[in-house]
Chain A
Amino acid sequence: MSHITTLLPPLPAPPAAAKPLSGARIAGMLFMALWILLFGGIALMMYFGWDWDKFAKYGPRYISGLQVTLGLVAASIVAGAVLSFPLAFARMSTNRVLSGIAYVYVYLFRGTPLLAQVFLIYYGLGSFRPQLEAVGLWSFFRDAWNCAFFSFALNTAAYQAEILRGAIESVPRGQREAAASLGINTRISFWKIIMPQALIVALRPYGNEIILMVKASAIVAIVTVYDLMGETKYAFSRTFDYQTYLWAAIFYLVIVEILRNLWNVLEARLTRHLKR
């Protein structure tokens, strides 16, 4: 009877098979090389074109532009959220007239470019100057920032109303019925049972909407608001230095990436009870 008397000594893992040089690999290396060249070129351009005078002159303007951008986006997102509640309820209402009006509002604001809406309010309301003066609103609409804020709030209200409606309708009917059968009144069941579940569904679309607003806010530079983009255009018109646009690009990319990562963390935190 034979049996094993010695065990094989532990052997190192076999060497990994060399990857064949496929087309995808060559293309991948080529495009990576292109990116490295591009970024290297930009970095060199910034290094050799660096000018302390310009930095001292336009650096603080960029920071104030950044503050204007963030302030405008925050204000219009909040105002839009407030407006979106009645809109979403009107859209879900069984009253045909009410839901029709809300539908037309949402369709109008989502179907036309934001730039056209800003122009319509900033330049167009000038046609109604006597009427606006009569009700005392002219001093509000004379300012470009206020006009931008007003049109952004109306625009994002339309998008947020759709997000909210989709989220509320995604909560199963059984939840509402269960609450009703337990004798919980409608108001409490809406705020304590429906909304918490709906807002988790709405979290991701809300994040996307904020990012879209940050990006869309660049167009206010066209109606003479000195936001980040406006300051960039100002600096470019004074210096004709291409770097000005690259700095704005860096600022916007950093804002968007921060928001995106913040939202990932927020979502992971808020949905931790749903993980299986």
Chain B
Amino acid sequence: MSDMVSAILNVIDPFCGPVGVFTLFAGKGILSCGDTGWGDKLASGVYVTASLALLTLPFGLLLGFLVALGKRSDDAYARLAANIYTTIFRGLPELLTLFIVYYGLQILIEKGLTAAGMNERFEINAFFAGMIALSVVFSAYCSEVLLSAFQAIPRGQYEAGAALGIRPAKTMVLVIIPQLVRIALPGLGNLWMSLLKDTALVSVIGLSDILRETGVAAKSTKEPFLFFGIACLLFLLLAIISSFFFSRIEIWARRSEAAR
């Protein structure tokens, strides 16, 4: 079964499959797939970048939603805590946040291990650290987008929910969130694009994403312009694919407005 799945995946592989770009256009040169070229390495970099961004998104959205709820809460402490969060993580450079999370977690875990009596070096996973740092940055911006979307929803919607006897939590899920998504979608699309670009920073702490793979290839082939140019094109490809999906999602979200 898994053989069949991998066989199918090999056939439709857009980079190194039988109809992949590198197979069709690179020939036997340094961009071909396999032992002689770098095509398969670059392709794996694209998958790492895409999966990092895709896995960061749900955590970032959830965290951003919670922070937005905190910001519009009646309680002064919740508002203050949420505002401190956005001020800090929107003010820090993404690279610095990444380093602080990467080394900070490492030090914390090592101290914990020492306290527990184990004395060993601990290397935190770069993918995991990148995911945490990027979700934190994404959620800080996301909370602002969601907050302004919340403000665009009239009070009457909550009151109507209450008048119909729907509980607040259910009003949120059934009445508010569907409208919130529609209003916040363009802003979230922009945030997704910057998330995609920020994933490039994770190459610095050693994750083999697009930029790291092209960097290694550039060093060993002495063709830096070609390979970093390809890196830019691959990021552009991801941006084009996501803007295609985003325009589809926006059409889907506005499907109820079309008839008017």
Contacts and interface: CB of A to CB of B under 8 A. Distances in A.
B200 A221 contact: no
A157 B103 CA distance: 34
Contact of B229 (A120, A216, A249): A120
B8 interface: no
Interface in A143-192: none
A108 B99 contact: no
B211 A116 contact: yes
B249 interface: no
A111 B91 contact: no
B198 A113 contact: yes
A101 B199 CA distance: 28
Contact of B96 (A29, A108, A127, A229): A229
20 contacts: A25-B78, A27-B75, A28-B75, A28-B79, A31-B77, A31-B82, A111-B239, A112-B235, A113-B200, A113-B201, A113-B235, A116-B232, A119-B215, A123-B215, A124-B224, A215-B94, A218-B95, A242-B103, A248-B96, A256-B90
A24 interface: yes
Nearest to B78: A28
B205 to A, nearest CB: 11
Nearest to B91: A256
A27 B94 CA distance: 27
A242 B107 contact: yes
B223 interface: yes
A25 B77 contact: yes
Considering residues A34, A113, A246, which has the most beta carbons from chain B within 10 angstroms of its beta carbon? A113
Interface string A242-268: 100110110011001100000000000
A116 B104 CA distance: 26
Interface string B5-48: 00000000000000000000000000000000000000000000
Contacts of B103: 236, 242, 245
A260 B223 CA distance: 42
Contacts of A232: 96
A31 B78 contact: yes
Contact of A257 (B87, B228, B232, B235): B87
A219 B192 CA distance: 20
A114 B91 CA distance: 18
A18 to B, nearest CB: 14
A22 B94 CA distance: 35
A252 B91 contact: yes
A75 to B, nearest CB: 18
Contact of B201 (A24, A34, A219): A219
Given A108-B232, A113-B198, 16 more contacts: A27-B75, A32-B80, A111-B235, A112-B235, A112-B236, A113-B200, A116-B235, A117-B232, A120-B231, A123-B228, A125-B225, A218-B93, A219-B93, A229-B96, A242-B107, A256-B90
Contacts of A123: 215, 218, 224-225, 228
Given A25-B75, A32-B80, A128-B225, A115 B218 contact: no
Considering residues A32, A107, A112, A222, which has the most beta carbons from chain B within 10 angstroms of its beta carbon? A112
A116 B231 contact: yes
Interface in A23-57: 24-25, 27-29, 31-32, 34-35
Given A113-B211, A114-B197, A28 B70 contact: yes
Contact of B236 (A22, A35, A108, A215): A108
B160 interface: no
B7 to A, nearest CB: 34
B223 A127 contact: yes
Contact of B100 (A32, A219, A245): A245
Contacts of B198: 113
Given A28-B75, A252-B91, A120 B228 contact: yes
In the A-B complex, the 9 residue pairs with the smallest Cβ-Cβ separation, listed nearest first, are A28-B78, A28-B77, A124-B225, A113-B200, A218-B93, A31-B81, A123-B224, A256-B91, A127-B225
A100 interface: no
B257 interface: no
A124 B211 CA distance: 13
Interface string B65-87: 00000100111111111101001
